[in-house]
Amino acid sequence: SSTTISWISKMSCIKFRRILHRKPIGNQCRFWCSSDTRPTSLENFAETERTNIEVSRNKSGLLQQHLNILFDRIPYKEPSSWIHLSEKYQRKAFARFGVESGVNPRICFHNKSDIQQQVYESLMEPKSVNTLIENAMLNIKQKNEGMRKREELITKNMERLDAWKNELQSKIAKKEADALAAKQRKERLVEEVRRHFGYKVDPRDDRFKEVLEQKEKEDKKIQKEAKRQAKEQKLLSKLVTKS
């Protein structure tokens, strides 16, 4: 505790005073061998003793910088690496330890060149880096979403491909059947017109065209009536099924 340290410091100072009154024997001085290692005052001696006591009390074996971090003190009193001289490290140190960090607070503010650089960057690129990153991520997300939807559409279309093929074949067959039926109907009407006259008539003849046109009108009426009856029959079948 602090009381114990204070008591030990006082005892060390008393011991130091007693030794000062002793006469050193040759070079066998207990505390110094030259003027470079001799304590200059009682305060220095007490500080040395206090440091030795702190070292002895360190049973964890941690380095001093790690102990400082553990007790929320600045890790290094003097820079020991180029990182400790960087603006980023010194700003963090001042933000955490304040004046005790020994950092000049001016380093926490932008200088003139930094401000000019910021103005230049804001004019060259009005959007911030975070905004650019967000826009890029949004574009990538939209592109991926578009690709996913397209892949889903392709998958669905592939599943319906066989049905579409069958439907297309049915339409082609129906058109061919309709064309064949129209051709056969035309031939039948031409044959009926020829039987009407009782002899072969040139199809380019006006009388032939007139009779053929009349036959076509009659045939259309017959087809229309057949379609109407088929529709009525289909509707009637549905009503019977529901009931």
For 2-145, strand residue ranges (E) read none
pLDDT at 141: 95
pLDDT digits (tens, 9 = 90+) for 77-129: 888 888 888 888 898 988 888 888 888 888 888 888 888 888 888 888 888 88
Domain spans, the chain: 45-111, 137-194, 201-236
CB hemisphere CA count around 106 (13 angstroms): 3
pLDDT digits (tens, 9 = 90+) for 7-65: 555 555 554 454 444 444 444 444 444 444 455 567 777 778 877 787 777 777 788 88
pLDDT at 19: 46
Q: Name the pTM for this structure.
A: 0.34
And the tokens for 227?
Answer: 């379609």
pLDDT at 138: 96
User: Cα dist. 109→96, 101, 120, 123 in Å?
Assistant: 16, 16, 18, 21
223 against 139, higher pLDDT: 139
- Is pLDDT at 144 greater than 50 in this prediction? yes
pLDDT digits (tens, 9 = 90+) for 158-183: 988 888 899 999 999 989 988 888 88
- Among 217, 183, 189, residue whose Cα is nearest residue 203: 189
Give helix 42-57 / helix 2-20 axis angle, nearest 10°: 130
Are 86 and 73 contacting, i.e. CB atoms less than 8 angstroms apart?
A: no
